Amino acid sequence: QSVLTQPPSASGAPGQRVTISCSGSSINIGHNYVCWYQQLPGTAPKLLIHTNDQRPSGVPDRFSGSKSGTSASLAISGLRYEDEAEYFCAAWDDSLKGVFGGGTKLTVL
């Protein structure tokens, strides 16, 4: 049972825009920054977004993050087959631990 809630799956056709949601509470997302990770099969997660909406160097601007209240979203525009992966949200929790979402498996149709 993950502290942050994500839909288990999402899908879209190449070129489309897809949004993945992440729901938390006042002691995690509501009070702290949100990050997003992309995990390809058999590899370690890769940081996509930090501080709610900031992209590390090298992450395409097709990926964007936003936060409102106790929820956050990751948007992927111009969907590509290479975007097919699992996506996780993360935040700090005021109970003094890091917390993650359960992951959303993105399928590119």
Partner 1 sequence: QVQLQESGPGLVKPSETLSLTCTVSGGSISSRSYFWTWIRQPAGKGLEWIGRIYTGETTNYNPSLESRVTISADTSKNQFSLKLISVTAADTAIYYCARAISASAFDFWGRGTLVTVSS
DSSP codes of every residue in the chain: --SBB--SEEEE-TT--EEEEEE--TTTTTTS-EEEEEE-TTS--EEEEBTTTBPPTT--TTEEEEEETTEEEEEE-S--GGG-EEEEEEEEETTTEEEEB--EEEEE-
Least Cβ distance, residue 60 to partner 1 (angstroms): 17
Least gap, CB of 39 to partner 1 (angstroms): 9
Output 4 or 79, the one with its CB closest to partner 1.
4
Q: Which residues contribute to the site for partner 1 (CB under 8 A)?
A: 2, 32-35, 37, 43-47, 50-51, 56, 88, 90-92, 95-103
